[in-house]
Amino acid sequence: MMPERTQVEADILTFVASRCPNYSGLALDTDLLEQGLLDSLLLIDVIFQIEERYGIKLGGEHVGPAHFRSPAAIVDLVMSQTASAQV
C-alpha cells in the first residue's frame, strides 16, 4: 500500500530534524546541502530509514544531490519508489 504524501512529509521532516537538532528552520524546501546539514552520515541514515520504513530499495542511481537536496526531494523519491514498487 502506498503511503500518504502528508505522512511521508511528516516522517522525513521529523527524522531529519532529529539528526539536526541545532537547526531550527527546517522545512520541506530547506536546501540541506546549502545549509550544510546533509553529510555522508545523515545521507546513510536517511537511506536506511527510507528502506526500512517504506520497504523500498534504493539503488546507486537514486543516491545523489538531486534526490536528497531537500526534504521535499526526499519525499518525492519515496513517493516515486513506493509507486514503482506497487506495479
Domain locations in the chain as residue ranges: 5-15+27-86
In which band, very low, low, confident or very high, does the pLDDT at 64 lie, cut at 50, 70 and 90? confident
CA distance 58 to 77: 9
CA distance 45 to 31: 17
Greatest C-alpha distance within the chain:
40
User: What average pLDDT score do residues 8-15 get?
Assistant: 96
CA distance 83 to 26: 26
Helix (H, G, I), strand (E, B) or coil at 2: coil
User: What average pLDDT score do residues 57-75 get?
Assistant: 92
CA distance 34 to 29: 11
Greater pLDDT, 85 or 48: 48
In which band, very low, low, confident or very high, does the pLDDT at 87 lie, cut at 50, 70 and 90? low
Name residue 18's amino acid.
Answer: S
Per-residue pLDDT at 50 exceeds 90: yes
The CATH fold assigned to 5-15+27-86 is: 1.10.1200
